[in-house]
């Protein structure tokens, strides 16, 4: 993901910190990870796992209001958002110049018992169809897609 020392990264829908905790080392002491989730339970577990790191901000919220970042990570959460188009626009507006939004989502295909029901998933083509922001796709796994949107 090319996270740099000193970056501010928002992990939106961070859960228990699967990405937030490793991101702390990537941004270093001069950077910040803002871990946002709606679930108090998940954030409590993140507090236990993340310790008292000064570069970790834990926020219980359902929006990005009031924040700016170099990078926003949306891992397995965009399909949960009521209006993905509007939410992505908010993400792009939240970015610092030349910032990036990473989207990791389930392919709209059967994956056994893994992931949400197929009718809740967002096809990659649907995501690409709701924005004109330049993007790159990164290979990850056949069941998921990994998109990097680059703001201007």
Q: Residue 87's pLDDT is what? A: 95
Torsion sign (Cα): 51, 35, 33, 66: negative
Distance, CA of 16 to chain centre? 13
pLDDT at 52 over 90: no
Return all residues near 52 (Cβ < 8 A) that are at least 6 apart. none
Q: Percentage of residues in the chain with pLDDT exceeding 70?
A: 100
pLDDT at 11 over 90: yes
Each domain of the chain, given as residue ranges in start order, spans: 8-150
User: The pTM is what?
Assistant: 0.94
Classify 8-150 by CATH class: alpha beta
How many helices (DSSP H) and strands (DSSP E) are in the chain? 4, 7
pLDDT at 152 over 90: no
pLDDT at 29 over 90: yes
Alpha carbon of 120 to those of 36, 37, 77, 79, 110: distances in Å?
22, 19, 11, 6, 12
List, for residues 14-23, the tens digit of each pLDDT value: 999 999 999 9
């Amino acid at each position: 993901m090319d996270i740099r020392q000193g970056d501010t990264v928002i992990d939106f829908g961070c859960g228990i910190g699967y990405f937030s905790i490793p991101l702390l080392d990537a941004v270093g002491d001069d950077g910040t990870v803002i871990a946002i989730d709606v679930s108090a339970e998940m954030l409590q577990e993140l507090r236990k796992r993340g310790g008292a790191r000064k570069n970790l901000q834990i926020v219980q919220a359902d929006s990005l209001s009031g924040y700016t970042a170099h990078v926003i990570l949306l891992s397995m959460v965009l399909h949960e958002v009521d209006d993905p188009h509007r939410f992505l626009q908010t993400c792009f507006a939240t970015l610092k110049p030349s910032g990036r939004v990473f989207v990791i989502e389930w392919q709209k295909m059967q994956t056994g018992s893994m992931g949400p029901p197929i009718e809740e998933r967002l096809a990659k083509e649907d995501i690409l169809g709701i924005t004109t922001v330049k993007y790159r796709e990164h290979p990850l796994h056949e069941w998921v897609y990994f998109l990097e949107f680059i703001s201007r």
